[in-house]
Amino acid sequence: MPNVDLGQYQVLLVDDEPFIRQLTGMLLKQLGCPNILESGNGAEALAQLDRPGAHVDLILSDLNMPDMDGVEFVRHLAARKGCPPLAFLSGAESGLLRAAEALGRAYFLEVLGALAKPVNKEALVAVLGRMAEERVPRAQRRGVEITETDLGRGIEARELVFHYQPKIEIASGRVSGAEALVRWQHPQHGLLFPDRFIAMAESGPLIGPLTEALVEIGLAQVQEWQGAGLHPHLGINLSPSMLSDVTLPDRFAASAARYGVPAESIVFEITETGVAREELVYLEIVTRLRMKGFHLSVDDFGTGQSSLQRLEALPFGELKIDRQFVHGAAKNPAKAAILEASIGLARTLGQKSVAEGVELKEDWELLRRLGCDVAQGYFVAKPMPAAAFPDWVAEWSARNASAV
Ligand code: G
Ligand code: G
Ligand code: MN
């Protein structure tokens, strides 16, 4: 169990069967999570959420309920501001649970998973764990209103930092790179995660300055590492909305030259949704990024709508398989099949396969058997501040050397 203090979380349980609410509530209490609200259907749950002063950190909701079922409930939740993360409970077939998950995600809700009823402890722990990561407890950041002006100020004041998560070559155990994940060290609100500000930036005028600032932070970091004899590739995320400015490749190349960092050290991770975009401008930008020597990676592969034909046509050298196909694959034949097919596809296209979200040893072993090239996830390490990275690499390398 990750280090979360569940005692301060408030959970809303939505199910029409009192027995299921009782059983699930009992398990939650056993896991150290005593603050539970209950509702018998979606309408009641919405009323609970609307009560003045009410706060909920996690919603566990049934799908099949009288009056307002789980699907309608999701639609209402999506229309609200600041909806807490949710997970579904259902006796329904697993295909239906997956469809409900997909629907929630399509509405941009944070869907943590689906639990078959009766809920077992292991599955519940997994959902609670997903809520945790190393995030600031939601209780501490509730009610924080982030504005564009504030973000603009934060960028200027250099309050954005990267945390770095190692990427490991599975066959050799070597550290092949790191992914840069942005955090905002906010003077009043503490450490803020990208879900709080990236989307806002993407839809407004800050997208340009933000992209520029992040690439500079990454380049400065690589320069520092190279000075210290470290040569990991650095993965930098680019949102599709950042790829509409044709001068980007030239500007990135000029920045890299200024820092004395070879373009080959940078891997731009671009989500598959972006890869699928038809615009010529997009095509031009990714092609020219590659021409300048930067590497390109298809992020979250398997969740977007890119066609296989386009994947073949674009100059991507790396396929990052989305964690939903990685986590638990060793025990889930459907996931394992998708994983195997994705790794095979990458190999056929001459691309490197990277599995993200590797949390379990058994999934790591499966990836090794399937011939996946690189793994990233909590099983190896969580994202860490820049200052911790060199020591971590030294420790990992020493442990790895003594293991072979
Ligand atoms: O750890 P995590 O919460 O950092 O990241 C959540 C998501 O936010 C990632 O999947 C990634 O898509 C996005 N993200 C993280 N860092 C960056 C960044 O520097 N730039 C962009 N555009 N997206 C990022
Ligand atoms: O979409 P993007 O690939 O850029 O995703 C990176 C996100 O995944 C970050 O939010 C990061 O913190 C998170 N992450 C990294 N490793 C794991 C893991 O093992 N499990 C889970 N649940 N999330 C992870
Ligand atoms: Mn990424």
- For the residues of 346-384, what is the DSSP string, one character each? HHHTTPEEEE-----HHHHHHHHHHT--EE-STTT---E
Q: Domain total for the chain? A: 2
Mean pLDDT lowest for which of 30-34, 210-214, 337-341? 30-34
Structure-block tokens of residue 101: 């998950």
Last residue of a domain, one of 140, 163, 190: 140
| Range of 149-163, 240-254, 387-401 with top mean pLDDT | 149-163
Q: How far, in Å, from the CA of 272 to the mean position of ligand 1?
A: 14
**Local structure of residue 195 (DSSP, 8 states):** G
User: Residue 121 belongs to a domain with what CATH number?
Assistant: 3.40.50.2300
User: Does the residue 244 lie in any domain?
Assistant: yes
Q: How confident is the model at residue 155 (pLDDT cuts 50, 70, 90)?
A: very high
Same domain, 163 and 129: no
Neighbours of 215 (CB within 10 A): 22
Return d(Cα 298, Cα 283) in angstroms, integer: 14
User: Would the pTM of this model clear 0.75, i.e. be above it?
Assistant: no
Last residue of a domain, one of 100, 118, 140: 140
Q: How far, in Å, from the CA of 402 to the mean position of ligand 3?
A: 30
239 pLDDT exceeds 80?
yes
Helix, coil or strand: residue 212: helix
Same domain, 166 and 188: yes
* Per-chain residues with Cβ under 5 A from ion ligand 3: 237, 269, 299
**Local structure of residue 157 (DSSP, 8 states):** T
Catalytic residue among 179, 356, 362, 365: 356
Atom number, ligand 2, closest to the C-alpha of residue 194? 10
In this structure, the dihedral spanned by the alpha carbons of residues 182, 183, 185 and 190, taken in order and rounded to 10 degrees, is 170
- Predicted confidence (pLDDT) per residue in 58-114, tens digit: 999 998 888 888 888 888 888 777 778 899 988 767 677 777 877 887 777 788 888
User: Does the residue 1 lie in any domain?
Assistant: no
137 pLDDT exceeds 80?
no
Q: How confident is the model at residue 276 (pLDDT cuts 50, 70, 90)?
A: low
- Predicted confidence (pLDDT) per residue in 305-318, tens digit: 667 777 888 899 99
143 pLDDT exceeds 60?
no
User: Residue 239 belongs to a domain with what CATH number?
Assistant: 3.20.20.450
Same domain, 332 and 218: yes
Last residue of a domain, one of 117, 140, 163: 140
Q: How confident is the model at residue 191 (pLDDT cuts 50, 70, 90)?
A: confident
Q: Measuring from each residue's beta carbon to the nearest atom of ligand 2, which residues come in under 6 Å?
A: 130, 133, 165, 181, 237, 269, 299-300, 323, 356-359, 377-378, 383
Return d(Cα 380, Cα 201) in angstroms, integer: 31
Structure-block tokens of residue 74: 């999701």
Same domain, 239 and 342: yes
**Is residue 39 within 6 Å of ligand 1 at its C-beta?**
no
Same domain, 135 and 160: no
Identify the domain containing residue 93 by its residue range.
6-140
Mean pLDDT of the chain: 88
